[in-house]
Amino acid sequence: MIHIILVLYTLFLSTLFFYAIHSYLLLFFYYRYGEKRLQPVRKTLEHTPDVTIQLPIYNEKYVIHRLIKSVVSMDYPREHLEIQVLDDSDDETSAIIAKLVEEYRQRGHDIKHVQRASRMDFKAGALEYGLERARGEFVAIFDADFVPPAHFLQDLLPEFDTPLIGGVQARWGHLNHDHSVLTRSQAIGLDNHFVMEQGLRSKLDFFINFNGTCGLWRRSAIHDAGGWSGETLAEDLDLSYRVQLKGWTIRYRGDIVVNGELPDRAYSYRIQQNRWAKGTIQVARKLLPKVFSSSLRLIQKYEAFVHLTCHVNFLAMLGLALFALPVAYFKVQGFVSSAYYIGISFFTIGAFGYPFLYYLSQKESYRDYRRRVPFILGVIAYSMGLSLSNTVAIIEGWFNRKHIFTRTPKSGGKQRSYRHEIRSLIPYIEILFGLYLCVTIVYVAVNLQLILVPFLLLYCYGFLSMGLSSVKEDLLPLRPQEIICSKRNS
């Protein structure tokens, strides 16, 4: 049994180290190219093509007015702009949309309320349904929780200066990053993705992904790649890779920021992260064979593999948490040679790569970056806390081809007493994991294995925070209107 545990523990450490190498590769490229050469060159719009803006909506009563108001305020000629509100809602959101659409139509905007007979293929199905009816040569997409700036189209359309530019992705900003430790931590994680990962991948001609919102597509590129597909929960990532495998290029504009609302509850955050984990591994299963058999350079294939399989890290983190106590016990009791522990200490090198990338993303983005840096610990802790539920998500994504899209609840920037019903044991198991790791902390501290304490504290905070917050939110009272909505959706 001891040997089995040690083999598994080493395997989990090796997995994390493999992906940590990627962080050092990004650091190498960052310092090689430097800040100035990563900055995009601003261009001017030479002609005015027809553009369709698509707004995929599902039960977004709190934020729909904010979204539509920002879109109709776009600095773009009305005669060349079409707005599609792709409404799959089954609550009062549809009535709100109908009223807003009629109001703005009377003001001279070409805005349409598009509804389907069913939610088949979820967001991908809605986008494809709208695309078949769109008149624009280019298509911009915004999710309900974002507020695009007026200059968005004027800034991104000039990027289509060659025929093979298939799409352009803008950077996400954050409307409510200072709401809590959770939102501050999320903001840092997303900043790293956009500032460091997307920016460097785009510069180095690696595959990047459309992030589902705040991007602009050439319509012909979508058609050439086969259109939107509902085969995965990451329809944006799926299309991005299919487009690039067809020879199109997706560009990234990190200087164009579209602010969005971060999930402010543990439940909302869990839903979002589980969907991303499941969807990404589904795309890996679907498209990695095509990536490997393509004519891409070896380093491009490596980058694509890391990109599409990175959520395996959560399984490895869960394994380390599970075996932390027995591995510490083996060392204290002398059951395992000290040479083993000296050997695995090498893997700790990998623990510093991504935190340093997070630091650089803050330094690149904000003048007050120093006050944001402490929340890097939150990024790590919440990642650890999500390791159980995301492990379940990637297993489901790999083995189960059926999936259901679950929307991320949004509050519209106000305190909402929305509530969810826990239909899983995962939050309670997370609490048990947190308590188990508290016991582990006491054990290693008493036995002076103090090097493990910082990591275990982060694990403990992550599990207990996710678990206890989810259970607490489940106990919140529902307001009368929310009770009606809950019954309607059940």
Give me the CATH number covering residue 58: 3.90.550.10
Tell whether the model's pLDDT for residue 125 goes beyond 80: yes
In a domain, 291, yes or no: no
Cα 82 from Cα 140, distance rounded (Å)? 10
The tokens 């997307």 sit on which residue? 198
Model confidence over 48-80: pLDDT tens digits?
999 999 999 999 999 999 999 999 999 999 999
Shared-domain flag, residues 324 and 248: no
How does residue 401 score in pLDDT terms, banded at 50, 70 and 90? low
Catalytic residue among 110, 155, 191, 236: 236
In a domain, 375, yes or no: yes
Q: Which domain holds residue 235?
A: 50-188+206-265
Q: What are phi and psi of 171, to 5 degrees?
A: -90, 145
Shared-domain flag, residues 240 and 384: no
Per-residue confidence (pLDDT) for residue 159, from 0 to 100: 95
Q: Which residues contact 298 (CB under 8 A, 6 or more apart)?
A: none
How does residue 114 score in pLDDT terms, banded at 50, 70 and 90? very high
Shared-domain flag, residues 213 and 127: yes
In a domain, 224, yes or no: yes
pTM (2 d.p.): 0.91
pLDDT > 70: percent of the chain: 90
Shared-domain flag, residues 225 and 94: yes
296: three-class secondary structure by DSSP: coil
Tell whether the model's pLDDT for residue 197 goes beyond 90: yes
In a domain, 365, yes or no: yes
Per-residue confidence (pLDDT) for residue 480, from 0 to 100: 40
Tell whether the model's pLDDT for residue 17 goes beyond 90: yes
Per-residue confidence (pLDDT) for residue 485, from 0 to 100: 41
Shared-domain flag, residues 58 and 25: no
Shared-domain flag, residues 77 and 17: no
The tokens 């785009």 sit on which residue? 202
Catalytic residue among 87, 88, 143, 264: 88
Tell whether the model's pLDDT for residue 196 goes beyond 70: yes
Shared-domain flag, residues 369 and 399: yes
Q: Which of 227, 244, 265 finishes a domain? A: 265
How does residue 487 score in pLDDT terms, banded at 50, 70 and 90? very low
In a domain, 129, yes or no: yes
pLDDT > 90: percent of the chain: 84
In a domain, 275, yes or no: no
Mean pLDDT value across the chain: 91
Q: Contacts from 446-449 at CB under 8 Å and sequence distance 24+?
A: 447/328, 447/332, 449/328, 449/331, 449/332
Per-residue confidence (pLDDT) for residue 442, from 0 to 100: 97
In a domain, 77, yes or no: yes
Shared-domain flag, residues 54 and 16: no
Q: Which of 232, 247, 265 finishes a domain? A: 265
Active site residue 88: yes
Shared-domain flag, residues 227 and 365: no
Shared-domain flag, residues 14 and 60: no
Shared-domain flag, residues 133 and 23: no
Tell whether the model's pLDDT for residue 461 goes beyond 70: yes
Shared-domain flag, residues 54 and 20: no
Point out which residues pair with 87 in neighbouring strands.
57, 115
Tell whether the model's pLDDT for residue 186 goes beyond 70: yes
Which of 78, 52, 215 shows the shortest CA–CA distance to 132?
A: 52
**Structural domain count of the chain:** 2
In a domain, 136, yes or no: yes
